[in-house]
Amino acid sequence: MAPELIAGRYRVERELGRGGMGAVWLCRDEMLGRQVAVKQIGALPGEAADLARALREARSSAALQHPNVVSVFDAIDEGETIWLVMEYVPSRTLSQLVRDDGPLDPRRAAGLGAQVAEGLALAHDRGTVHRDVKPGNVLVKEGDHAKISDFGIARSNTDDEHRTQTGLMTGTPAYFSPELARGADPTPASDVWALGATLYAAVEGRPPFPSRDNAIAMLMAIAHDRPEPPRHAGPLAGVLGHMLDPEPDARWSMARVARELRAVAGGRDDSGDRAAAATAPMTAVAPAVVPEPEPEPDPAPTPAATPAATPASAVGAAGTADRRRGIWIAVAAVVLLVLVALGGFALLGGSEDDQAPAADDSSATPEATGDPSDDTTASSAPTADGSSAAPEETEDPGNDADVSGSDAEGVVSDYYAALPQDVDTGWATLSPDLQDEIGRDSYDGFWATISSVSIQEVDDVGDGVVDVTLTYDGGSRETRRIEVGPVDGDLRILSDSVVG
């Protein structure tokens, strides 16, 4: 129910927005005769309130005075509620701007981004990390004056930092950095990524990662994959490449980002060779390359003869275990905690207000690179005396590394048939290398969040690689590329990546 007067001073005029922690009201400050935005901060469902910490963080944020930061005027403690009194900015959010007017010209986006980066650079200098930079938190006034909003939001622990906080937010994790998606704590570098993702959305009309059915699928994609290269960034491409570097330590500081964006807004063109080098981390990531085909049939270090007919033995390890493969499982620990805290409300049910309508929503279909070579058993090499060579060819150990499509499909089918109920069998199907990357706790944590998984389709890519389309909990759908190979005489899962 709407209050009439807050803290005996702020007369409520109307509600501006609402989120999991409370509401934001447009109020009139009866003492100073000005309009302000007053945000109610409380506990999220299922969470104990930590109002003392909320008040500390709010007061700390009030010290950030910058023309590109929405000012916090006051923090008021009224028993079970903290009221955050902020500057009221008549404006549209960046997400509304793109939705209404279409994707922005790269130089205009760079100009808006430079202003936001300058405000965030001040915050970083003062030891404050925003933790939720996204188009819905960038306010754009007349004359393209940009301000970053939503500093000083109370959070009771680091896991809570990734939750929806106001009516302007959607609960989507689309702007999380890879390290946040894996469960790391927020840092200035994660703000740099989020601003890069925000500017990517401004020029492309959609976030770097296509929308998924739920937070689990989105976090897995962010942690495991890389963004598709921007198609419309033009002179902004080079800066985006540095901001969206998957390695936090390799990203530019926010202060440098601000300088570089100013240069682009002023006319510098980064679309040439410099941009190509800068965006190399993103370009290398185009989904078509995901399979990373193995060297053709001569993987040297395999054990002798493979017992070809091992029906449902497990799947896994020696070869090319993609170093990112284990990350998607680790993501689940983060999602599980968030879902418990929110009762599944914000992340799985939030609208995607911050995601501007896609101008070009073509997610590239991965190509099956690699030449599926048939199991061509070595044709008998003529020996000097002819006849004795033929019987030996059947047991050529070089073929032990080859896995037929039907064997790979059988392993994958048996793997998902065991899950999520029998995680021990599922775990045993992974190669030792993959188990080391994932960790048993993270693996169990992920499958604890899933009530059912079913295979919709399995396509043989070749060389022991299959694309499997899955449905989680009867709704969320994704396609994964899984590589199967021999380990100590058994077939196991060597690598796994999201391709659709």
CATH of the domain at 18: 3.30.200.20
Same domain, 24 and 50: yes
Q: Of 239, 270, 301, which residue sits at a domain end?
A: 270
Same domain, 415 and 491: yes
Same domain, 249 and 194: yes
191/187 Cα distance (integer angstroms): 7
**Once rounded to an integer, what is the mean pLDDT over residues 456-476?**
87
Indicate which residue of 29, 100, 101, 132 is catalytic. 132
pLDDT of residue 42: 61
Write the pLDDT tens digit of every residue in 174-209. Answer: 899 999 998 888 999 999 999 999 999 999 999 999
Supply the range of the domain harboring residue 60.
Answer: 1-88
Same domain, 70 and 103: no
**Domain annotation covers residue 359:** no
Answer yes or no: are the C-beta atoms of 374 and 402 closer than 8 Å: no
**Domain annotation covers residue 125:** yes
Q: What is the DSSP string of 344-356?
A: T-HHHH---TTSP
The β-bridge relationship of strands 145-148 and 138-141 is: antiparallel
DSSP tag of 162: G
The greatest distance separating any two alpha carbons of the chain, rounded to the nearest whole angstrom, comes to 108
91/79 Cα distance (integer angstroms): 32
**Domain annotation covers residue 385:** no
**Domain annotation covers residue 324:** no
Does the pLDDT value for residue 221 go beyond 70?
Answer: yes
Answer yes or no: are the C-beta atoms of 36 and 10 closer than 8 Å: yes
Same domain, 221 and 177: yes
Radius of gyration of the chain (CA): 26
Q: CA of 488: how far to CAs of 73, 195, 211, 402, in Å?
A: 66, 47, 40, 14
Does the pLDDT value for residue 159 go beyond 70?
Answer: no
Same domain, 118 and 245: yes
Answer yes or no: are the C-beta atoms of 253 and 127 closer than 8 Å: no
Same domain, 138 and 83: no
36/54 Cα distance (integer angstroms): 20
Does the pLDDT value for residue 290 go beyond 80?
Answer: no
pLDDT of residue 465: 94
Mean pLDDT score of the chain: 73
Pair of tokens at residue 368 = 């099956």
Pair of tokens at residue 283 = 């370009």
pLDDT of residue 500: 64
Same domain, 234 and 144: yes
**% pLDDT > 90, the chain:** 41
- The CATH number of residue 152's host domain is 1.10.510.10
Q: CA of 281: how far to CAs of 245, 246, 424, 498, in Å?
A: 6, 7, 36, 18
Reported as half-sphere exposure (CB side, CA atoms, 13 A), residue 232 has a value of: 21
Query: What pTM did the predictor assign?
Result: 0.56
Pair of tokens at residue 309 = 């007919």
Q: Which residues fall within 8 angstroms of residue 82, CB to CB, at 6 or more apart?
A: 40, 41, 42, 51, 54, 55, 58, 75, 76, 154
Same domain, 56 and 11: yes
DSSP tag of 69: B
Same domain, 44 and 126: no
Strand partners, 146: 140
* SS3 at position 281: helix
**Domain annotation covers residue 343:** no
**Domain annotation covers residue 388:** no
**Domain annotation covers residue 367:** no
* SS3 at position 93: strand
Higher pLDDT, 421 or 52: 421
Write the pLDDT tens digit of every residue in 336-378. Answer: 554 444 443 344 333 444 443 333 333 333 333 333 333 433 3
Q: Of 270, 288, 320, which residue sits at a domain end?
A: 270
pLDDT of residue 52: 66
Q: Identify the residue whose tokens are 């390799």.
A: 250
With the C-alpha atoms ordered 324, 325, 328, 330, is the resulting torsion angle positive or negative? negative
Answer yes or no: are the C-beta atoms of 401 and 302 closer than 8 Å: yes
**Domain annotation covers residue 315:** no
Same domain, 79 and 224: no
485/183 Cα distance (integer angstroms): 30
Reported as half-sphere exposure (CB side, CA atoms, 13 A), residue 354 has a value of: 29
- The CATH number of residue 474's host domain is 3.10.450.230
Q: Identify the residue whose tokens are 């060297």.
A: 295
458/464 Cα distance (integer angstroms): 12
Answer yes or no: are the C-beta atoms of 216 and 445 closer than 8 Å: no
Instruction: State how many domains the chain has.
Output: 3
Please name the amino acid found at residue 130. H
Q: Of 250, 270, 290, which residue sits at a domain end?
A: 270
140/151 Cα distance (integer angstroms): 16
Q: Is 132 a catalytic residue?
A: yes
DSSP tag of 383: P
Nearest to 337 by CA among 116, 481, 204, 159: 159
Same domain, 256 and 181: yes
Residue 141 annotated as part of some ligand binding site: no
Pair of tokens at residue 163 = 């939750």
Higher pLDDT, 247 or 168: 247
DSSP tag of 23: E
